[in-house]
Amino acid sequence: MKRIAVLTSGGDSPGMNPAIRAVVKKAIYHGLEVYGVYRGYEGLMDGDFRRFELKDVGNIIHRGGTILRSSRSERFKTEEGQKVAIDHLQKYNIDGLVVIGGDGSYRGANALHRKGVKTIGLPGTIDNDINGTDFTLGFSTAVNTVMEAVDKIRDTATSHERAFIIEVMGRDAGDIAAWAGLATGAESIFVPENITAKDKMIDRLNKGYERGKKHSIILVAEGIGTAEEFASYIKEKTNYDTRVSVLGHVQRGGSPVAFDRILGATLGGKAVELLMEGVSGKALGLEKNEISIYDYEYVFKEKPKHPIQVLCNLAIELSI
């Protein structure tokens, strides 16, 4: 293994830059040449490669997003697209590729692996929806971003004695809602993994107000419905002054928190080690505080078994 490359693909996440930095520095430390591939698989097919030196990853450890930029590519899903990409890799004599992205990006990395390109996948997504890892790169930062936003909303909710329904990201996974809900003392959390009865939310709202609560915070992961839908339901059943806030893309940006930087460093470094050993076709993660190494197929087999419901139930118990 003499020359490797790194790309970021799919939805960006804070933590991608620390991971790129780790891949580049670890590779150079061990005498490898390393290339940055711009714009994910689109750049791989266009030959948008650049030799990276240490200075190219200077001053990026604290930056959100990805300096390599990212893309979604239908063309890469075709045999023809993958062939063009492999031709470019061969032209540059690149023996190994680190792919940082979500589940879709792993499918692309798997396709390359099956065609003989050595690839290692790192879980770069805020959603925490990748099997085989307790945490993905960017998830912790997103939870912190939501927590800070909800803290601010709570101030105004208290002043005006309002119920706030806050919609957060998470189409299939309620991890952001569950973690942020627990961190902010939310009264109710609605996640795609479980349709908690809405009438219980009304019960809890009523009891809270009877006890003298001045506000209510309800977190809704986008995959279970919109904040507007939940607000309409509350308005139908109660007289509470209700407001909606949809946090949106603010959740995807921002400087990575310490945990995401460390996860990026750890997994980025490990990816290079594995490529140097000739390993390919593996997705890396962190499970029970150990680096986990799985075949892509294992990751695709099922959704992660994170304890979302346990967190949601606890949040309800603690919001009395």
- Binding of ligand ADP at residue 76 (CB under 6 A)? yes
Among 102, 174, 223, 256, binds ligand ADP (CB under 6 A): 102
CA separation for the pair 148, 18 (Å, rounded): 22
Q: Residue 229: which of 159, 274, 221 has the closest Cα?
A: 221
Helix (H, G, I), strand (E, B) or coil at 191: strand
Interacting span for ligand ADP (CB under 6 A) from 101-109, 222-230, 258-266, 272-280: 101-109
Amino acid at site 166: I
| 134 marked among binding-site residues | no
Q: In this chain, which of 48, 95, 103, 175 binds ligand ADP, going by CB under 6 A?
A: 103
Is 172 annotated as a binding-site member? Answer: no
Verify binding: residue 72, ligand ADP, rule CB under 6 A.
Answer: yes
Alpha-helical regions (H) of the chain = 16-29, 40-46, 79-91, 103-114, 139-160, 175-184, 198-210, 227-237, 258-276, 296-301, 308-318
171 is in an annotated binding site: yes
Stretch of residues binding ligand ADP (CB under 6 A), selected from 83-91, 97-105, 204-212, 269-277: 97-105
Q: Quick check: 103 and 122 in contact, CB under 8 A?
A: no
Whether residue 73 is annotated as binding a ligand: the answer is yes
Size of the site for ligand ADP (CB under 6 A): 17
For residue 283, what is the enclosing H or E element? strand 282-287
Residue 90 marked as a ligand binder = no
Which residues, 6 or more positions from 310, have their beta carbon under 8 angstroms from its beta carbon?
A: none
- Exposed/middle/buried for 231, CB within 10 Å: 0-12, 13-18, 19+? buried
Of 21-29, 107-115, 148-156, 308-316, the window that binds ligand ADP (rule: CB under 6 A) is 107-115
Q: Does 169 bind ligand ADP (CB under 6 A)?
A: no
285 binds ligand ADP (CB under 6 A): no
Catalytically active residues are 127
| By CB under 6 A, residue 216 contacts ligand ADP | no
Residue 50: strand, helix, or coil: strand
- Told to check if 41 binds ligand ADP by CB under 6 A, we report yes
Asked if 107 is part of the footprint of ligand ADP (rule: CB under 6 A), the reply reads yes
DSSP assignment, residue 195? -
Name residue 204's amino acid: R
Identity of the residue, 66 or 125, whose beta carbon is nearer to ligand ADP in the bound complex: 125
Residue whose CB is nearest to ligand ADP in the complex, by number: 104
Residues that bind ligand ADP (CB under 6 A): 9-11, 41, 72-73, 76-77, 101-105, 107-108, 111, 125
The annotation places the binding site for Mg(2+) at 103
The annotation places the binding site for ATP at 11, 72-73, 102-105
